Structure 1
């Protein structure tokens, strides 16, 4: 069973010029992330554009990631777990994806509950109930409150931890309308339940995010060396290397001005991972955005 703790790298899904998953390139991303010491991998989440792939493509991505992770020994000399995002627009689709992920060798599931219309609490709980009934894998609740118009409460998270297979939450590190102390509130609600409280949002993670059990980040899948070093320094109470910290701040600053998945694909190319732009409706990064990314990449610390 995976704990969803530490640094979790959310990988992009590289594409060939023919617009199909580039499995060799994905394997290299897995190898590099594991080799540099990340604690877990996630495929087919938002940075991996999972909702744009059909069942066969998703199965191929999961198989490639699981195989590459099993074949790579990281800095900790242990097998790094592979988690699969299984969000979908219907409970039936979510359950089918959860079962396929289990059959493909996934160690855990990441689930952002969403639908065409905003969900209410009872509907959200019912989705996690259905997954727990169908698949015996630990689940990380992916709280995409801005996109889904539903923000999980500490009370609901505790209920899910007691009644379903939810063992973790991925929560936004910073929201304009949310007061401080969110991590403490979530931890208090799930005290004694073994739930990992993790944060996402690169601009906050590389600057002033609250201490948390996990960092969930797409950028760590592309620059794992720098992110692992930053995370370890923060956990150990050390001062991060100033050059690395400054470079990550500059990189997240540029990415914040680009479309999220498109920016990651452009960055992947600049870092040597071949990929076409993400599938539409996402549009490729324009020339100015690529130039600004290239300027930061050229200053990457040795």
Structure 2
């Protein structure tokens, strides 16, 4: 079940010369598994996947798959984001991910101009023809200019290998999300409805079938606690402390450049990494200082990654 539960999206740590730090990535993946995360997704937005050459992507996927296979709690699925600006590049990345041991694919459809419904359906059909892996539709309308409708999602579920959707838990036009609307349109089709957006997730979003989070890969113990309590309706003092701390971190990340902020947070938590590759710029000194201050306030009993 690669798209249910809590899905962590790790950064791709970098060495001082800008190469993927496979050892640091493996540590993040194993830590997520040990904390009880259900699956990880590499090379998505948090992992800056579009900045890496094919051979680098392949090395990242293989390192994550190997680390997940030796998770202390048992093997953990590894999904791979395969978004690119051309269908050919997406299919090539999908085939490579399958060859490297991916359990599933995560695909946000985009190009230089916003796509329309027919182009999106054709893209996912091409992936389905090329690779026999389940696909999660990564819906990020503010970034791509395309917002999947419930009807198109149902078409994709019927005609392609889409078995899940990652939808924003909150948008300006729909602050309460639309998980139930998507479920209703699917008419019983087996599609996992997952939500993303750390601030909204931590500030009252429903548990849904899945939460997708970049922050969960850097603070997995706290995030697993919050997710479990939201799913069961239980409330503990420790869980509330974890939620409040995570929400403070998420709000700081939302106010910063997201990938740069995650790299600064990772450094503060003890994961070695250089800043992300350009055109992303390093986190400002103020953001880095804020991350260090937040980590210093991490709830007692939650060890650094």
Q: TM-score, normalised by structure 2?
A: 0.96
Distance 2:219 2:177 in 1: 29
Distance 1:294 1:117 in 2: 39
Instruction: Please tell me whether residue 246 in structure 1 is matched to residue 244 in structure 2.
Output: yes
Provide Cα deviations, 1:252-273, integer angstroms capped at 9, x if missing partner: 1211111000000000000000
RMSD: 1.0
Given the alignment, which residue of 199, 214, 229 partners 2:210?
214
| Counterpart in the other structure of 1:52 | 51
Contact 2:106 2:137 (8 Å CA) reproduced: yes
Distance 1:27 1:211 in 2: 28
- Residues 266 and 181 from structure 1, CA distance in 2 versus in 1: closer, same or farther, beyond 3 angstroms? closer
Displacement of 1:3 after TM fit?
4.3
Contact 2:134 2:161 (8 Å CA) reproduced: yes
Provide Cα deviations, 1:213-242, integer angstroms capped at 9, x if missing partner: 100000000000000000000001112522
Displacement of 1:181 after TM fit?
5.7
Instruction: Please tell me whether residue 298 in structure 1 is matched to residue 296 in structure 2.
Output: yes
Task: Say which is worse superposed, 174-183 or 233-242, in terms of deviation.
Answer: 174-183
Provide Cα deviations, 1:89-142, integer angstroms capped at 9, x if missing partner: 000000000000000000000000000111011000100000000000000000
| Counterpart in the other structure of 1:103 | 99
- Residues 181 and 221 from structure 1, CA distance in 2 versus in 1: closer, same or farther, beyond 3 angstroms? closer
Contact 1:111 1:139 (8 Å CA) reproduced: yes
Give unmatched runs, 5+ long, in structure 1: none
Provide Cα deviations, 1:186-212, integer angstroms capped at 9, x if missing partner: 011113211000000000011111331
Contact 1:3 1:167 (8 Å CA) reproduced: no
Matches within 5 A, 1:188-203: 188-203=184-199
| Counterpart in the other structure of 1:29 | 28
Q: TM-score, normalised by structure 1?
A: 0.97
